[in-house]
Chains A and B, each alone.
Chain A
């Protein structure tokens, strides 16, 4: 029992409710949300410390012992991801102070942002499958509102598709929960794991596992990512950064959790499906990243590639694979947020999002240029930076598991990630300097955010902070590995989780 576990939800939730009453007072809204996000980092760090020193932390809501009540569980993976969420959330928040326009800020931007964090942290911490659904919905409904906030033509059009896809996947989620409840009679994840193990996973439980796979793959953009590139290019940069960093990762976390804790008995069926999906995701994402010539699309397809990459760690289902998946999840949350923020800055500085219309920015914006370069290397996985250790472990896990084709695809996809990002760097920062023509139209939503303030110090600061973390995660990989390997232990040995939750 540890009441601290509910704080990563409670802090943003109370902040959001408070901010609703301060609609017109934007300055106060900023201060309160900034303070609460820093508080959130502190609390999440404390939870991580407790998990490290005292093992898995649980909280039985209202004292109802599982499987009867809802239980919050912070194992190492959840604690790490909650901390990453808090960090990414605050930096995106600091970035949005200067980049989001007044009109959006007045229309409940900050409350919605906090509600999004509530949903994401809740999804990571919950130990109950239906509560996971509710936390997903909290996250998704705030993301619906954030994606359409501002109401440009592009946003309206893309949000229709985004919402439709998510309503469908939520309906499937409830159907899957219904089937699972019908078969096992349980909703608590640890209890489910025990009952599935007793019943022996086969026949109908495999069907349910694949239904869950479809649901979470839709949310994570694993193979079923057709909705992602369009939707994520609609909202302004600060919002896209949060989406790209957090939303797909929640789907991946749910995949990791369900397929290591509940449905891990018949890997020949489920994990081979996941393997095909992961491979196809990387190939198709790579094709998309190569094909497009505008920055939002290239970055969106990079999100898709990394989703496939993390799934390889899950498919390998050995210690190295799980360690790598956990490490890479953390790296990818931070690096993708940074990548989207820098991409938004480049678009704002160049006045266009098309690669062939920009050039020579390095003279006016050297900091953005070199930061983008380092980030590109980190995302591609160049050794001293954060992407390397995770990639190395995932590849090692894949080779151990004999998934040679998947490993080959994932290594090749790293080259394509590097190529697609360096292509942005070369097109935007090298060559002739071009005059900034602000093409107004809803196609280039990102431009209108912050036409004039592209290189300002207050915008660079959050990006620099995130870059410092990316470099720290890379250089201090050994130290972070001491956390990550505990997460890997829990993933590979579900009885640790079950014992922690169901102990008397």
Chain B
């Protein structure tokens, strides 16, 4: 199971990196989202995907899955959610003010 997850994460990383290297700002933001998805799945996978009950003591199971990575992922999800929404609004403002979403044109003037 870990092998398939690793392959999926690898695909997500590849897609993310490819999109981040593109010119359009929206594609770049999409790329960062793919990358963070990959990272969160990686956190889940690296704690080994053993079968067990959900980490609720009411389940009264013999074995539970590791609760720690789930907490880490939850933290990381909200952080990346906040950052992504900020990034989107920033891209919107930048498009309004600078009139382009092409990263090549955002390099700046020579006299700066």
Encoded as 1 (CB less than 8 Å from any B CB) or 0, chain A from 119 to 134 comes to: 0000000000010011
In the complex, B55 has a CB within 8 A of chain A: no
Q: Are A130 and B75 in contact (CB under 8 A)?
A: yes
Bound complex: CA of A144 vs CA of B87, how far in Å? 9
Q: Are B82 and A164 in contact (CB under 8 A)?
A: no
In the complex, A157 has a CB within 8 A of chain B: yes
Encoded as 1 (CB less than 8 Å from any B CB) or 0, chain A from 147 to 174 comes to: 0100101101111110110011011001
* CB of A355 to closest CB in B, whole Å: 13
Query: Which chain B residues (1-29) contact chain A, with CB distance < 8 Å?
Result: 20, 25, 28
Q: Are B87 and A163 in contact (CB under 8 A)?
A: yes
Bound complex: CA of A130 vs CA of B90, how far in Å? 27
In the complex, B53 has a CB within 8 A of chain A: no
Q: Are B90 and A148 in contact (CB under 8 A)?
A: yes
In the complex, A426 has a CB within 8 A of chain B: no
* CB of A439 to closest CB in B, whole Å: 10
Q: Are A174 and B43 in contact (CB under 8 A)?
A: yes
Q: Are B32 and A137 in contact (CB under 8 A)?
A: no
In the complex, A141 has a CB within 8 A of chain B: yes
Residues in chain B near residue A168, CB distance under 8 A:
20, 32, 35
* CB of B101 to closest CB in A, whole Å: 10
Interface of A is mostly: helix
Query: How many chain A residues have a CB neighbour from B under 8 Å?
Result: 35
In the complex, A178 has a CB within 8 A of chain B: yes
Q: Are B46 and A167 in contact (CB under 8 A)?
A: no
Given known contacts A164-B20, A174-B43, is B25 in contact with A443 (CB within 8 Å)?
no
A151's partner among B36, B91, B97, B111 (CB-CB below 8 A) is: B97
The residue on A at minimum CB distance from B28 is: A164
Residues in chain B near residue A227, CB distance under 8 A:
none
Encoded as 1 (CB less than 8 Å from any A CB) or 0, chain B from 66 to 91 comes to: 00110010011001101100110011
Given known contacts A134-B79, A157-B98, A178-B46, is B87 in contact with A167 (CB within 8 Å)?
yes
Q: Are B32 and A174 in contact (CB under 8 A)?
A: no
Bound complex: CA of A369 vs CA of B93, how far in Å? 39
* CB of A486 to closest CB in B, whole Å: 33
Given known contacts A153-B97, A168-B20, A181-B47, is B72 in contact with A163 (CB within 8 Å)?
no
Residues in chain B near residue A100, CB distance under 8 A:
none
B97's partner among A156, A170, A175, A187 (CB-CB below 8 A) is: A156
Bound complex: CA of A177 vs CA of B75, how far in Å? 13
Given known contacts A167-B32, A175-B42, is B106 in contact with A157 (CB within 8 Å)?
yes
In the complex, B58 has a CB within 8 A of chain A: no
* CB of A443 to closest CB in B, whole Å: 5
In the complex, B48 has a CB within 8 A of chain A: yes
Given known contacts A134-B79, A171-B39, is B86 in contact with A443 (CB within 8 Å)?
no
* CB of A255 to closest CB in B, whole Å: 21
In the complex, B61 has a CB within 8 A of chain A: no
Q: Are A159 and B97 in contact (CB under 8 A)?
A: no
Bound complex: CA of A168 vs CA of B28, how far in Å? 11
In the complex, A203 has a CB within 8 A of chain B: no
Residues in chain B near residue A151, CB distance under 8 A:
93, 97
Residues in chain A near residue B54, CB distance under 8 A:
none
In the complex, A179 has a CB within 8 A of chain B: yes
Q: Are A174 and B93 in contact (CB under 8 A)?
A: no
The residue on B at minimum CB distance from A354 is: B111
Bound complex: CA of A137 vs CA of B45, how far in Å? 23
In the complex, A230 has a CB within 8 A of chain B: yes
Residues in chain A near residue B76, CB distance under 8 A:
133, 174
Q: Are B93 and A156 in contact (CB under 8 A)?
A: yes
Residues in chain B near residue A141, CB distance under 8 A:
79, 82-83, 86
Q: Are B111 and A156 in contact (CB under 8 A)?
A: no
Can you list 9 A-B contacts (CB < 8 A)? A130-B72, A133-B76, A148-B90, A156-B98, A164-B32, A171-B39, A178-B69, A182-B48, A294-B112
15 further contact pairs, Cβ within 8 A, besides A167-B80, A168-B35, A178-B42: A148-B90, A151-B97, A157-B94, A157-B108, A160-B25, A163-B90, A164-B20, A164-B28, A167-B36, A174-B39, A174-B76, A178-B43, A182-B45, A187-B68, A443-B109
5 smallest CB-CB distances across A and B, nearest first, come from A182-B46, A178-B43, A178-B46, A156-B94, A174-B39
